Amino acid sequence: MSEILDIAFVSGLIGATMRMATPLIFATLGEILAERSGVLNLGIEGIMLMGAMTGFLVTFSSGSIWSGVLAAAVVGMILGLLMAFLAVNLGLSQHVSGLGITLFAAGLAMFIYRLHFGSPTVPPIIQPFKQITLPVLSEIPVIGPGLFTQYSLTYIAWLLVPVMSILLYKTKLGLKIRTVGENPVVADTVGVNVALTRTLCLVIGGALMGVGGAFLTLAHQNMFLIEVIGGRGWVAIAMVIFGNWDPVKGTIGTLIFGFLDGLQLRLQGVGIAIPFHVFLMIPYLLTIVALISVSRRAAVPAALLKAYRREEKGG
């Protein structure tokens, strides 16, 4: 048991936390962008799975891992566009449209994978991302090696957090996005194109979700398995609520989840006589507990779930 307090263990745990948080950071930021504009995107789980599959497939075929990342982003954008068509242009129920996207995209991902690879006994693999050790920073005692020996996608995820904050709070576009999400009538009457703004957010958000999914097949693992996402999309939606629709607070949530995920992997390794499924369950349970703690004072974007049609009234 003394291993738990070991420096190498701590360092490993920090590294694992960062790794496990990475796909969630991408997905959570993507979902925050969508929800801030007033659209709940329940397509997230399916988009991530399509991203994971596409990233893997393209990397496998082309040998270029960055092409895989790009393809995952593009697929995410297309599915984001489909979500925008259903929920924004047609104004359909956001709940059901999103679930439709998830079911469709999940089916499609497995369909295309089977089509391409058949049912091999040993799953095909790719050469995944390598971790990059940042000089100087990684030499900080205790936390350095864990924090700064990471995949490039993890560093990108970290950069995206301030970028998203600045976008939302300091730019003209961000003010438009927030206004569209709070009250589309206000936005419309000052000349902001509500549908276009929401579509943009869903498309960019979709790209982030796609890349988040791709991280799992291109860095975390080197193969595609059907259960690779394992509900991380839903966890990201919970993190958005937990973070009160704020990129920084949402990221804190993903770190907690990443920590628990990393911890359960480590503890499995330590060999405690508890079925590993119990550890797997803990992050989901604690996510629910986290939701309980914040839900009463959640500041939901006021226009979330509401379709906007200008000429709705009859008088």
Partner 1 sequence: MGDTQTPVVRMSGITKHFLDVTANKDITFHLYPGEICALLGENGAGKTTLMNILFGYYTCDEGEIFIKGEKANLSAPKDAISRGVGMIHQHFALVPSHTVLEIIIIGADSGRGIFLDFKTARQEILQFQERFGLKIDPDARVWTLSVGEQQKVEILKALYRDVDILIMDEPTAVLAPSETEELFKTLRSLVEEGRSVVFISHKLNEVMDISDRIVVLRAGRVVAERNTAETNTRELANLMVGRDLLESIEKKTLEPGQPVLEIIDLGAVDDKNLPAITNLNLVVRQNEILGMAGISGNGQTELCEIIFGMRAPTDGIIKVGNSPLKFGSPASAIKLRMGRIPEDRIGTGLMMDLSVEENMILENHTSSDFHRYGLMKSKKIRQFSDDLISAYSITTAGRDAATKSLSGGNLQKVMLARELSGGPAVIVASQPTRGLDVGAMEYIHQRILKERERGAGILLISEDLDEIFALSDRIVVIYEGKIMGEASGAEASREQIGLWMSGVEK
Partner 2 sequence: MIRFKIEKRKPLPGWAKIVIPIAAIMVTLILSAIPILIAGGHLWKSYFYLFYGALGTRFNLLETFVKASPLLMTGLAVAFAFRAKFWNIGAEGQLLAGALVATVLGVSMGGFPHALVLPIIIIAGFLAGGIWASIPAILKTKLKVDDVVSTLLLNYVMIHIMGALLFGPLQQPGSSWPRSSAIVEAACYPILMTRSRFHMGILIALLAVFVIWFINKKTTFGYQSKAVGVNVRAAHFGGINTTSVILWTALISGGLAGLAGVGELCAIQYRLIMDISPGYGYSGIVIAMLGNLHPVGVLFSSLFFSVIIVGAQTMSRMTGVPTYIAEVIQGMALMVMLIFLLFTEYKLRMVRKS
Q: CB nearer to partner 1: give 289 or 299.
A: 299
Q: Which amino acid belongs to residue 100?
A: G
Site string for partner 2, 65-84 (x = CB under 8 A): --------------------
Partner from partner 2, partner 1, none binding residue 190, C-beta < 5-8 Å depending on class = partner 1
Work out the angle between the directed axes of helices 276-295 and 247-270 (0-180°, nearest 10). 160
- When the beta carbons of 111 and 169 are compared against partner 1, the nearer one is 169
With CB under 5 to 8 Å by kind, the binding choice for 284 among partner 1, partner 2, none is partner 2
Q: Does 92 bind partner 1 (CB under 8 A)?
A: no
Question: What's the full length of the chain, in residues?
Answer: 315
Size of the residue set binding partner 1 (CB under 8 A): 27
Contact between 272 and partner 2 per CB under 8 A: no
Q: Cα-flanking dihedrals φ and ψ of residue 149, to 5°? A: -120, 90
The position carrying tokens 């969630």 is 24
Question: If binding is defined by CB under 8 A, does position 135 make contact with partner 1?
Answer: no
Q: Which of residues 275-304 bind partner 1 (CB under 8 A)?
A: 299, 302
Which residue in the block uniquely carries the two structure tokens 């997230």?
Answer: 44
CA atoms of 251 and 28, how far apart (whole Å) = 7
Site for partner 2 in 226-265 (CB under 8 A): 230-231, 234-235, 237-238, 241
Q: Which partner from the list partner 1, partner 2, none does 186 bind, CB cut-off 5 to 8 Å by kind?
A: partner 1
Q: With CB cut-offs between 5 and 8 Å by kind, which of partner 1, partner 2, none does residue 299 bind?
A: partner 1
End-to-end CA distance of the chain: 73
Maximum C-alpha span of the chain: 74
Tell whether residue 114 is a contact of partner 2 (CB under 8 A).
yes
Q: 150: helix, coil or strand? A: strand
Residues 161-180 that bind partner 1 (CB under 8 A): 170-176, 178-179
Buried b (16+ CB within 10 A) or exposed e, 84-110: bebbbeeebebeebbebbbeebbebbe
Question: What is the spatial distance between Cα 222 and Cα 204, in angstroms, rounded to a whole number?
Answer: 26
Q: Alpha helix locations (H) across 190-246?
A: 194-215, 232-242
Interaction of residue 270 with partner 2, rule CB under 8 A = no
Q: Residue 23: how many CA atoms within 13 Å on its side-chain side?
A: 31
* Nearest distance, CB of residue 314 and partner 1, angstroms: 4
Partner touching 192 among partner 2, partner 1, none, CB below 5 to 8 Å by kind: partner 1
Among 7, 125, 134, 186, binds partner 1 (CB under 8 A): 186
Beta-bridged to residue 149, according to DSSP, are 133
5: partner contacted, choices partner 1, partner 2, none (Cβ within 5-8 A by kind)? none
For residue 178, the Cα-to-chain-centroid distance in whole angstroms is: 20
Report CA 197 to chain centroid distance, whole Å: 20
- CB count in 10 Å sphere of residue 215: 30
Binding status of residue 116 toward partner 1 by CB under 8 A: no
42 contributes a contact to partner 2 by CB under 8 A = yes
272 binds, among partner 2, partner 1, none (CB under 5 to 8 A by kind): none
- Please give the size of the binding site for partner 2, defined by CB under 8 A: 51
Residues that bind partner 1 (CB under 8 A): 170-176, 178-179, 182-183, 185-193, 299, 302, 310-311, 313-315
